[in-house]
């Protein structure tokens, strides 16, 4: 349904690949997060030289909402970028040089004295295609060494955000555009005498396992909210933390959740 909304591409964004490589997947939940998380994603993509995917569905992108002026701008960080007029060595330029961090110094295309080779096959440090098993293993290990720094950096970016009552009878868990109706539902539930909170998973890859596990330690009932049929965030949480949701509230009719609907689902779960 091209003109309706859904959250059905999460696992595709996290897992689809031609081979194995690190990536960033981030899901903004409102207009402000679209602005700020996009800047974060660009910087992570450049610093770690990985794809960065921003998951934002139609409901979020075509909504109208007032927000605070976007005054806070993240500085642009190009990472290991060599801005020089000419490459003078030592030796030939190695676009995919094996480093301790896993990130190779990157040079601007057209720099005199430097040849940049890139293709879709496994390659050596210079970019030439290789099937040598030692080179293949070394290059794969190099790429995944990026994950240590990438995970550490994402952990400091508030990858999981919690709203509402600390000691809640019901914990709503979701991602992306479910944030708006979920926050409104917290107000309606409070009016009806039900304490509740909303756990928003913002970074889906690298997955913030510790932060999600901590957020789900609340003793109350947890309800998973997703606009898809297969509880894709729930599967991702189970894969990375072992947590299994007993109650799920799913929609796959092309329409977003509304706050009243969420309230009714929560009340059914509590009873």
| Same domain membership, residue 68 and residue 166 | no
In a domain, 190, yes or no: yes
Question: Which of 60, 76, 92 is at the close of a domain?
Answer: 76
Q: Is the pLDDT of residue 81 over 90?
A: yes
- 127 is written with which tokens? 């970019």
Residue 191 lies in a domain: yes
The span from the CA of 123 to the CA of 254, in Å, is 43
Q: Does position 71 have pLDDT exceeding 80, yes or no? A: no
Q: Is residue 101 part of a domain?
A: no
End of a domain among 41, 76, 111? Answer: 76
Helix or strand run (H / E) with residue 143: helix 133-144
Q: What is the mean pLDDT of residues 65-72?
A: 82
Give the angle 254-260-262 at the CA atoms, nearest 5°.
65
Helix, coil or strand: residue 222: strand
Cα-based distances in Å from 103 to 32, 143, 144, 153, 212: 30, 7, 10, 15, 28
CATH code of the domain containing 183? 3.40.50.920
> What was the pLDDT predicted at 165?
93
Count the domains in the chain.
2
Where does the pLDDT of residue 211 fall: very low under 50, low under 70, confident under 90, or very high at 90 and above? very high
Q: Please check whether residue 59 lies inside any domain of the structure.
A: yes
* Domain contains 126: no
Q: CA–CA separation, 33 vs 27, rounded Å?
A: 9
What is the rounded (10 degree) CA torsion for 151, 33, 219, 152? 10
Residue span of the structural domain in which 233 resides: 160-270
Q: Is 25 inside any structural domain?
A: yes
Q: How far apart are CA 58 and CA 29, in angstroms?
A: 12
- Residue 6 pLDDT greater than 90, yes or no: yes
CB contact at 8 A, 190 and 218: no
* CA distance to 16, 96, 241, per residue, from 121 (Å): 17, 13, 34
The 10 Å CB-count burial string (b at 16+, else e) for 111-120 is beebeeeeee
- The answer to the question of residue 175 being in a domain is yes
Residue 109 lies in a domain: no
pLDDT tens digits for range 167-207:
899 999 999 999 999 999 999 999 999 999 999 999 999 99
Query: What confidence score (pLDDT) does residue 208 get?
Result: 97
* Confidence class for position 220, pLDDT limits 50, 70, 90: confident
Of the three residues 76, 109, 128, the one that is the final residue of a domain is: 76
Q: Give every strand in the sheet of 160-164, ordered side by side.
A: 160-164, 196-201, 170-174, 221-226, 247-250
203-205, strands of its sheet edge to edge? 52-54, 24-26, 203-205
Q: Contact at 8 Å (CB) between 249 and 262?
A: yes
Give, for 54, the enclosing helix (H) or strand (E).
strand 52-54
Q: pLDDT tens digits for 245-268?
A: 989 999 999 999 999 999 999 999
pLDDT above 90 (res 65): no
Mean of pLDDT values over 72-90? 88
């Amino acid at each position: 349904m091209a003109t309706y909304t859904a959250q059905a591409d999460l696992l595709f964004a996290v897992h689809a690949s031609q081979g194995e490589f690190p990536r960033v997947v981030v899901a903004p939940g409102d207009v402000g997060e679209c602005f700020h998380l996009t800047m974060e994603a660009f910087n992570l993509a450049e610093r770690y030289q990985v794809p960065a995917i921003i998951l934002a569905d139609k409901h979020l992108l075509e909504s109208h909402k007032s927000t605070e002026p976007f005054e806070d701008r993240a500085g642009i960080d190009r990472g290991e970028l060599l801005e020089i007029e000419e490459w003078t060595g030592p030796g030939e330029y190695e676009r995919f040089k094996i480093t301790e961090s896993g990130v190779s110094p990157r040079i601007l295309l057209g720099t005199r004295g430097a040849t940049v080779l890139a293709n879709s096959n496994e390659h050596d440090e210079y970019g030439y295609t290789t099937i040598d098993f030692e080179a293949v293993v070394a290059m794969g290990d190099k790429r995944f060494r990026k994950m240590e720094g990438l995970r550490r950096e994402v952990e400091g970016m508030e990858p999981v955000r919690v709203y509402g009552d600390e000691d809640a009878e019901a914990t709503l868990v979701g991602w992306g555009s479910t944030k708006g109706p979920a926050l409104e539902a917290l107000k309606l539930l409070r009016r009806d005498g039900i304490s509740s909170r909303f756990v928003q998973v913002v970074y889906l890859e690298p997955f913030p396992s510790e932060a999600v596990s901590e957020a789900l330690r609340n003793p109350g009932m947890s309800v998973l909210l997703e606009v898809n049929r297969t509880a894709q965030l729930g599967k991702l949480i189970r894969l990375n933390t072992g947590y299994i949701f007993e109650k799920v509230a799913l929609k796959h009719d092309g329409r977003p959740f509304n706050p009243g609907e969420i309230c009714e689902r929560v009340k059914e779960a509590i009873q």
